[in-house]
Structure 1
């Protein structure tokens, strides 16, 4: 039986293009379409669809407003966002992922691009992944997201400091009870006491589908005095990773930025690979620095986690803590295999139950590479346990 898809988009042209692509594949059929968010919400409440393709900007009710209304009404669906790469569009896409959308696809700029085989294949691949995702993923997002649900992470702007104004809290300065968040926050990992861990270490995180949401359960729990730099590859196209970095930085004590060419790798800092570039760590005089490579896509993605892990073979670190989170495919596995040949490595994989898509972590576990397999809620704890604080 073909999977039933609902398209919600105010553009008649875009609806036609997406309908043609979906109906050309034997796995899917467009069951219905809606011309705005309000119409789409009525249809989602009335019927069950295997996947919903949702535009961001629409009259009457935007895509974000629709997602919030679904959370409020406890009506869930597996949603694929159709997004633009404008600054505001990228920011709202990140918010949509916070609200429970499974993934997004960058809207083509014109009809010719929309009918190109590259867009068609990417769209159908994502639609297949989204249609296999249990809508309960959206319910979990409602419990832990930043939208209308209770927050399980802590914003750096929601803290009363007992030390001098302007001081960034660390594992030693933050006290229980400092947090004033909407809803009941989960105790951040940084509230716990961690030993000083010897050695020069680095953390390298890989994530894909479901990653932006998962990262909000990990990065904000890392202390500002983490005793290691953090490299992060999230599969995203150019134009979106900057918004992801900005959002994570707002929510975290540790500094989070989009990586720049030649930057030194500093402890207590997260460097996110820019969309459209590969992130490498290279040995330099006095330490290690970032190199952004324009090599071709690998595993069909750019940035690619395998590039990141393999670059650490020659970097000057005593140990690499590799973290593989939710995502389709097997990116990261080959890189970690190569890294283990010449480097001391500790591998943390997200468990199946907490993954949106159990692909990348499964590849790590099935390959016998994982030292620890943990639920998403415990990933930050295990990172800090392995690298310590300054």
Structure 2
């Protein structure tokens, strides 16, 4: 078995050693070298051609964002960012995702995390998955469509529910930023992401989009033209009270290892009376969302289910699991998903 070759980049000698030791505990990975700053990293990427780079967000000489941009320009490589749990760290991490980083790992206690070994399993799992990810994402793709046209729905109570994981921040940016102002449906989203990062993602999407985007809060009124992103570390449900919809957001137990979980959100939407759900499963590892899709179709047989094509996914796990239910109506390239939503729920109705 050929191991995946990893370059570890961090300005702290302690962190370089700790991260290298953790990665080398995997039977699928080996650290071939380390770099102490961004310029050093670029030189070693060009020379060694690693399969994957772990890249600290905050470094001297050249920070993680600038380094990532240079790597993607000169020698595109799978990159996993390491970030502190500060707002600045979260903002830069979300920017890195939009620039092509496959995933990120949150350092548990700042730039130099003496307890980094506490998240060894998470580090190894994310790097193993990222080393096999599709990070190049070429635009030329063929699209498979069950139906040849996108007839508008007739319901006056549509709701769009989206689930995503690895590669999701970049995918969500492509979908949400194309929705028009006044989009006549609420959009509810679960993106697998820890506490402290979902606010940065929501704020970034809001700056770039014509629709309003916010990190959901418990008790929010769910209205048309607004996108609600689940809060990291809490489950997100949509509930019906009278003739209105509200958000219920609270810390619970993870479902299939996830909090927030796509299944939880989808199942809550399935309980809403007289609605027209449109579910979207985007890139991500695992199968979260497929059980929720089954519930949606059972309760609302007219649910329209969309999944992202394998070729445009960073990781095909979640869309593949959804497709295996045989309940998906459209398998679409990422750049077509917003168009399906716009045609199905046109602004002028």
- TM normalised by structure 2 equals 0.92
1:202/1:317 contact within 8 Å kept: no
Alpha-carbon distance between aligned partners in 1 of 2:194 and 2:241, rounded to the nearest angstrom: 29
Residue 247 of structure 1 pairs with residue 204 of structure 2: yes
Runs in 1 of length 4+ with deviation above 4 angstroms?
A: 194-197
1:314: which partner in 2? 271
2:294/2:325 contact within 8 Å kept: no
Alpha-carbon distance between aligned partners in 2 of 1:290 and 1:136, rounded to the nearest angstrom: 36
- Following TM superposition, by how much is the alpha carbon of 1:310 offset from its aligned partner in structure 2, in angstroms? 0.7
* Structure 2 counterparts to residues 224-263 of structure 1, below 5 A: 224-263=181-220
* Structure 2 counterparts to residues 1-390 of structure 1, below 5 A: 1-73=2-74, 75-109=75-109, 111=113, 113-116=115-118, 119-137=119-137, 140=138, 197-344=154-301, 345-390=303-348
State the secondary structure of the residue aligned to 1:341: helix
Supply the RMSD in Å over aligned alpha carbons: 1.9
Alpha-carbon distance between aligned partners in 2 of 1:71 and 1:197, rounded to the nearest angstrom: 44
Alignment deviations for residues 309-367 of structure 1 (CA, whole Å, 9 cap, x no partner): 11112223421100000000000001111222112411001111111110100011122
Alpha-carbon distance between aligned partners in 2 of 1:134 and 1:264, rounded to the nearest angstrom: 37
Alpha-carbon distance between aligned partners in 1 of 2:298 and 2:115, rounded to the nearest angstrom: 43
State the secondary structure of the residue aligned to 1:10: coil
2:146: which partner in 1? none
More moved, 126-135 vs 93-102: 126-135
State the secondary structure of the residue aligned to 1:340: helix
Distance of aligned partners of 1:336 and 1:93 in 2 relative to their CA distance in 1, 3 Å threshold: same
Alpha-carbon distance between aligned partners in 2 of 1:339 and 1:253, rounded to the nearest angstrom: 28
Distance of aligned partners of 1:197 and 1:340 in 2 relative to their CA distance in 1, 3 Å threshold: closer
1:201/1:317 contact within 8 Å kept: no
- Following TM superposition, by how much is the alpha carbon of 1:28 offset from its aligned partner in structure 2, in angstroms? 1.1
- Following TM superposition, by how much is the alpha carbon of 1:70 offset from its aligned partner in structure 2, in angstroms? 2.5
- Following TM superposition, by how much is the alpha carbon of 1:71 offset from its aligned partner in structure 2, in angstroms? 3.6
1:197/1:388 contact within 8 Å kept: no
1:151: which partner in 2? none
Return the structure number with greater relative CO, CA threshold 8 A, min gap 6: 2
Distance of aligned partners of 1:206 and 1:136 in 2 relative to their CA distance in 1, 3 Å threshold: same
Unmatched tracts of structure 2, length 5 or more: 141-150
Aligned length in residues = 335
State the secondary structure of the residue aligned to 2:267: helix
State the secondary structure of the residue aligned to 2:304: strand
1:222/1:380 contact within 8 Å kept: yes
- Following TM superposition, by how much is the alpha carbon of 1:123 offset from its aligned partner in structure 2, in angstroms? 0.9
Unmatched tracts of structure 1, length 5 or more: 144-193
Alignment deviations for residues 169-203 of structure 1 (CA, whole Å, 9 cap, x no partner): xxxxxxxxxxxxxxxxxxxxxxxxx9684421100
Alpha-carbon distance between aligned partners in 2 of 1:33 and 1:332, rounded to the nearest angstrom: 38
Alpha-carbon distance between aligned partners in 2 of 1:251 and 1:379, rounded to the nearest angstrom: 17
Alpha-carbon distance between aligned partners in 2 of 1:296 and 1:316, rounded to the nearest angstrom: 26
